[in-house]
Amino acid sequence: MEKIKIDDIRNSLPKEKIKIDKMDIWVYYVIRPLSFFVTWLFLKVKINANLATIISMIIGVIGSFIFIPNGFFFHLIGAILINLWIVLDCVDGNIARFTKKTSTFGMFLDGLSGYFFTTFLYICIGLSVFFSQNYYEPFGEQKWVYLLLGSLTSIFTIFPRLVDHKAHTLFSNYTSETTNRKDYGLFHIIGLNIAGMAGLCNPLLLIAVIFKFTNIYLIFYFVIHGLIACYSLVKTIKSVPKDY
């Protein structure tokens, strides 16, 4: 691989993937274009797709945990690293497509990276707000509520996925209405942009940190992810073939 061009990396993205990216404004206009430059750098230093996934996993976990200590600097660095994770989450796929080297293990690692991120993110944000002294407190002295909200929000983001994966494993003719983006309508696209793990929740987190309303951010996404979780679970249960 003598000469690597950004345009070649960009052109390796299939039309179907571009169509899916277009559903998510933040991904299409910001994250994916940035990922091409990071992909170019990784290819230059001979980082393969699996190593890129491992790096993204480490960055995402560090970004989440660095959010916990009380202090604007920690929160800002955490928010930046979390946004960087989203970029890196696109890089491994870019590398795999460009080099034409894909594997089932790579797909497993990519899923594992996402699970790590979604498991820890809102728990760490809840801990961050709990320890912080710089926010208007709608719950007064009952700051333990943020620990509960953070934990529940993480459950809301991960549990419906586990149920959906279980349905896929057990029923060969099961088709998901919530994870198959090819069939997304306007309602699903709005949800994807507001609450998708690569969507607007990431720049909004950075804005929340800068303007010191991370607690309101957590409350908002607790409600949003709670509603999405209920909707996803109902859809999954209704879509599962009934063989009784």
- Rounded to two decimals, the pTM is 0.90
pLDDT of residue 157: 94
Distances, alpha carbon 201 to alpha carbons 128, 140, 175, 215, in Å: 17, 26, 27, 14
In contact, 47 and 55? CB cutoff 8 Å = yes
pLDDT of residue 226: 96
pLDDT of residue 2: 62
Q: What is the pLDDT of residues 148-172, one digit of tens each?
A: 999 999 999 999 999 988 888 888 8
In degrees and rounded to multiples of 5, residue 187 shows phi and psi of -60, -45
Closest among 43, 22, 44 to 33, alpha carbons compared: 22
CA angle 152/175/223 to nearest 5° reads 20
Q: Please give the chain's pLDDT, 244 residues, in tens.
A: 468 899 999 999 998 888 888 999 999 999 999 999 999 999 999 999 999 999 999 999 999 999 999 889 999 999 999 999 999 999 999 999 999 888 888 888 888 888 888 889 999 999 999 998 766 677 777 889 999 999 999 999 999 999 988 888 888 878 777 776 777 888 888 888 999 888 899 999 999 999 999 999 999 999 999 999 999 999 888 888 876 4
pLDDT of residue 134: 66
User: Alpha-carbon distance 43 to 40, whole Å?
Assistant: 5
Q: What is the pLDDT of residues 61-103, one digit of tens each?
A: 999 999 999 889 999 999 999 999 999 999 999 999 999 888 8
The domain limits of the chain are 6-239
Distances, alpha carbon 60 to alpha carbons 14, 121, 216, in Å: 26, 8, 22
Span 6-239 CATH architecture: Up-down Bundle (1.20)
